[in-house]
Amino acid sequence: MTYVVTGATGPFGRLAIESLLRRGVPAGEIRGTGRQIEKAADLGVEIRRADYEDAGALREAFAGASRLLFVSGSEPGRRQAQHANVVAAAVDAGVELVAYTSILNAATSTMDLAEDHRATEKLLTDSGLRPVFLRNGFYYEVYTAQLPAYLEHGVAGAAGDGPIGAAARADLADAAAAVLTGEPDKGVYELAAEVFTLAGLTELVTEVSGKPVGYTPLTGEQYREVLTGAGLPGHVADFVVGIDLGIAGGNLATSGDDLAKLIGRPPVTLREALAQ
């Protein structure tokens, strides 16, 4: 059995490889791919240089692969073409199972962020491969990284009281490793550890820090003004606002326990993540 993990030089791919090793997969059966392979040299597994833009390199990297963890690309506007290269290489390699990191509610989401994922899910479904869609919620790290700013300025956003399904990146990577090494009982997993709102996040920040923190709900236009005023380019501000408006529309809502079932333990909570 040969397990191939794309994006091995990024945070998610690295965590997935570490999880595979913890789950007892021999290092010799794991192959990572990425652009800056020196970043993954310490993992102790084979790392091959492969860029999603380079169809030939992907074919070489996937040769002999049994199961593939396909970590989605991070370049909006180029992702669909890049992902087509990955899928074609997986088909050429005769991969028996492909686990793809998608987004919560990809099939129905109205968020711009979901379009590439929905297209990739269709591409995989039509490819003749056996796909498993890991529809990941947002990473807690998106929010915990902003803790210093929350403590100084409070929490603000245009998500209203929209639910945010999220989880620790490491738990989502562990779920991916569980799918690769197990026999998945379905083709779609909606993955989140818990669901919270920005107001709920604010309350937790206050409790964990011991410092009163306020929450300011904003309209989309107000939030854009805040972001551009803080120095974000207009197109980046539009992207961030679009995410919040998508959250307000319920696109990150979920109520299942797929994540806990896959990893076989209670996932890390938002409170625990904030306290770390």
Number of residues in the chain: 276
CA 101 to chain centre: 6
* Residue from 28, 181, 9 nearest 96 by CA: 181
Strands 164-167 and 138-139: parallel
**CATH fold for the domain made of 3-137+167-191+255-266:** Rossmann fold (3.40.50)
DSSP single-letter state for residue 43: G
- pLDDT, one tens digit per residue, over 157-178 is 999 999 999 999 999 999 999 9
**How many angstroms separate the CA atoms of 78 and 58, rounded?**
16
Q: Which residues of the chain have pLDDT under 50?
A: none
- pLDDT, one tens digit per residue, over 39-48 is 999 999 999 9
Q: Is 254 helix (H, G, I), strand (E, B) or coil?
A: coil
* Residue ranges of domains in the chain: 3-137+167-191+255-266
Half-sphere exposure of 129 (CA within 13 A, CB side): 31
Angle CA 178–182–187, to nearest 5:
85
**How many angstroms separate the CA atoms of 138 and 270, rounded?**
12
User: Maximum distance among all alpha carbons in the chain?
Assistant: 56
**How many angstroms separate the CA atoms of 261 and 276, rounded?**
24
Q: Is the pTM of this model over 0.95?
A: yes
| Token pair belonging to 123 | 């591409």
